[in-house]
């Protein structure tokens, strides 16, 4: 099984002419499938794919990690350009998520589209809340059990429930997992469920304890020193070859992980490709 992953959208890029954009999106190519994981927040997906010579018309489906704008923002433009696709996501994707930026300043950071607006462009939603093998050896994680005591969603996120604002546990946050013969490849949008919870869940679903790569957001950007230290300890106990951190990891957490774990930690940016 050959797997090639190209980061199409990430906050930054080392490649001239590509656009760095707040968010995350990656193309996962296997021998038989092409899956788009997340879409970034706006224009970068379509622009970068064209510059990289990638034809997104060929993708078989789209997997959305969770209902934040920076992972869903280019979905409707994508479908508008290339036609309808199956979309795998958690059923809580469309939760309303006002984020407080000032005394009376709330911004909606939730899913960037409505179900209706996407369906009008041909979206076929397949809601997945539990671990599901969507293609041979390729899984959507569904809800990630929160088993560690030091990981949290990574911020003061709120969502609406019965007309009230409550703490948002981001239950829709999930991973795309490729069960490669040499180990797991785990793609994450933000890992609001926690990078360690996510990796443990992927291992539990597949029964494969070797991890080839974790790729994507970790939401360690505001993590305490204590959480970072415990995350490093947990990563040392996991048989993992590459930790490719992106997006909401932040400079300090990325530097800390690199200092502690060495060259297996890579900063994943727009335009980078990884082959397994």
- The binding site for Fe ion (CB under 5 A) comprises 68, 70, 190, 248
Q: Choose between 183 and 189: whose C-beta lies nearer to Fe ion.
A: 189
Query: In terms of Cα–Cα distance, which of 200, 215, 102, 99 is closest to 154?
Result: 99
- Quickly tell me which residue has 């990981």 as its tokens: 151
The pairing of beta strand 34-37 with beta strand 265-267? unpaired
Q: Choose between 68 and 227: whose C-beta lies nearer to Fe ion.
A: 68
Q: Which residues contact 160 (CB under 8 A, 6 or more apart)?
A: 95, 96, 97, 98, 166
Q: Choose between 99 and 276: whose C-beta lies nearer to Fe ion.
A: 99
Q: Smallest distance, Å, CB 249 to Fe ion? A: 10
Q: Smallest distance, Å, CB 62 to Fe ion? A: 16
Q: In angstroms, what CA-CA distances link 55 with 50, 78, 87, 165, 221? A: 7, 11, 18, 41, 33
Q: Smallest distance, Å, CB 169 to Fe ion? A: 12
Q: Smallest distance, Å, CB 38 to Fe ion? A: 9
Q: Choose between 208 and 246: whose C-beta lies nearer to Fe ion.
A: 246
Following CA atoms 164, 249, 63, 93 in sequence, which dihedral angle do they give, to the nearest 10 degrees? 0
Q: Choose between 248 and 266: whose C-beta lies nearer to Fe ion.
A: 248
Q: Smallest distance, Å, CB 23 to Fe ion? A: 6
Q: Which residues contact 266 (CB under 8 A, 6 or more apart)?
A: 242, 243, 244, 245
Helices (H) and strands (E) in the chain, counts: 7, 18
Closest residue to Fe ion using C-beta atoms = 190
């Amino acid at each position: 099984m050959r797997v090639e992953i190209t980061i199409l959208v990430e906050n930054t890029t080392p490649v001239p002419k590509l656009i760095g954009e707040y968010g995350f999106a990656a193309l996962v190519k296997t021998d038989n499938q092409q899956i788009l994981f997340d879409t970034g927040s706006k224009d970068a997906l379509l622009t970068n794919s064209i510059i990289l010579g990638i034809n997104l018309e060929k993708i078989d489906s789209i997997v959305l990690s969770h209902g934040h704008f920076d992972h869903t923002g280019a979905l409707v433009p994508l479908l508008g350009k290339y036609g309808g696709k199956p979309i795998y996501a958690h059923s809580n994707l469309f939760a309303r998520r006002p984020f407080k930026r000032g005394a009376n300043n709330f911004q909606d950071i939730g899913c960037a589209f409505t179900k209706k607006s996407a369906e009008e462009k041909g979206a076929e939603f397949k809601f997945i809340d539990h671990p599901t093998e969507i293609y041979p050896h390729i899984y959507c994680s569904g809800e990630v059990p929160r088993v560690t005591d030091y990981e949290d969603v990574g911020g003061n996120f709120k969502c609406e429930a019965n007309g009230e604002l409550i703490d948002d546990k981001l239950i829709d946050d999930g991973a795309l997992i490729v069960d490669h013969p040499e180990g797991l490849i785990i793609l994450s949008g933000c890992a609001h469920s926690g990078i360690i919870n996510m990796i443990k869940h992927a291992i539990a679903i597949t029964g494969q304890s070797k991890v080839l790569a974790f790729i994507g957001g970790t939401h360690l950007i505001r993590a305490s020193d204590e959480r970072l230290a415990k995350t490093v300890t947990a990563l040392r106990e996991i048989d993992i070859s590459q930790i490719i951190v992106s997006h909401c990891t932040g400079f300090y957490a990325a530097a800390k992980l690199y200092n502690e774990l060495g060259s297996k930690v890579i900063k994943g940016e727009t335009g980078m490709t990884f082959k397994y």
